[in-house]
Amino acid sequence: MGEVSTATFTLEPIPTHPVRSVLLYIAMEAEAVGVADALGLSAPTLLHAHSSARRRDGVHQGIRIQLVTAGGDRLLAVDRIGTIPAALAVTHALDAHPFDLIINTGTAGSFLSRGAAIGDLLFARTVQFHDCRVPLPKFDALSRAFTQLSCNDAELHAITALLPARLGGFSTGSSFDATPEELAHFSREETLAKEMELGAIAIVARERSVPLIALKSVTDFVDGHEPNHEAFLKNLAFASEQLAIAMPKLLAWLSDPLRRREQFA
């Protein structure tokens, strides 16, 4: 296996002071309901008058939480999954309120060849786009947007031990399936999670200088034999339950800087 590439961009670090406000982005309502219940958040309302995105608000572990979903398409009545709805919703939320941290959570595909199992928790070290192929100098790096997320090595070790979760590189694209070129890319980069939002949110976070972390749960295998969309629907409820269990643990850790410092000692 070849050497894994180095990230081009780096996000703001997690603040050393107590995290007091979190923007929690989840693409689909089915992924969000259990997390919202676990955190005691409000019923959903529109995030913005000119957007389909929805918000749920509350306080958990002393942290002001705003959970944002992309909402449903008015014509087709399905969740507005993907990069563009994610970037728009996060941008609208940041326009309205400042936040100490963005957390992107939800579900993702992973790899049997990497030892993944359905329902595994995956925590992102980096993210990049796997379906942006622009063979022009510097434009290729810009379009791939390979980004180091906000945790340092000690924080990554502490969080993945706490949840527990597996740590690795995430890759964002707009399709459930993968081309042969993309499969080769995943192998070369030792990708842990294939998903559809994080890369776009990372661009917004970089432009707004807001820290970003990401936690996903496995619904399907990119290198498995079952069609990805069938596995996703079959395993969505179970994977979402794992996120609802994990999120209060993660927020409790973020709210306590003394605990974080003790773990790094």
> For 51-70, how does the pLDDT look when each residue is reduced to its tens digit (9 = 90+)?
899 999 999 999 999 999 99
Torsion of CA 172, 176, 182, 183, to 10 degrees: 120
Q: What mean pLDDT comes out for the span 152-180?
A: 95
Q: Given the residues 79, 155, 189, 220, select the one marked as catalytic.
A: 220
Which pLDDT does position 1 carry in this prediction? 44
**How much is the average pLDDT of 142-165?**
96
Per-residue pLDDT, 3? 58
Q: How confident is the model over 74-83, as pLDDT tens digits?
A: 899 999 999 9
Instruction: Give Cβ neighbours of residue 17 (< 8 Å, ≥ 6 apart).
Output: 257
Whole-number pLDDT of residue 5: 83
**What pLDDT digit, counting tens, does each position of 109-151 carry?**
999 999 999 999 999 999 999 999 899 999 999 999 999 999 9
Contact 198, 125 (CB under 8 A): no
pLDDT, average across residues 224-246: 95
Active-site option among 31, 79, 131, 155: 31
Q: Which pLDDT score is estimated for 263?
A: 58
Domains of the chain: 9-260 (3.40.50.1580)
**pTM score:** 0.95
Q: Which residues pair with 221 in a beta bridge?
A: 110
Residue 226 is among the residues annotated as catalytic for this protein = no
Give the pLDDT score at 262: 62
Residue 230 known to be catalytic: no
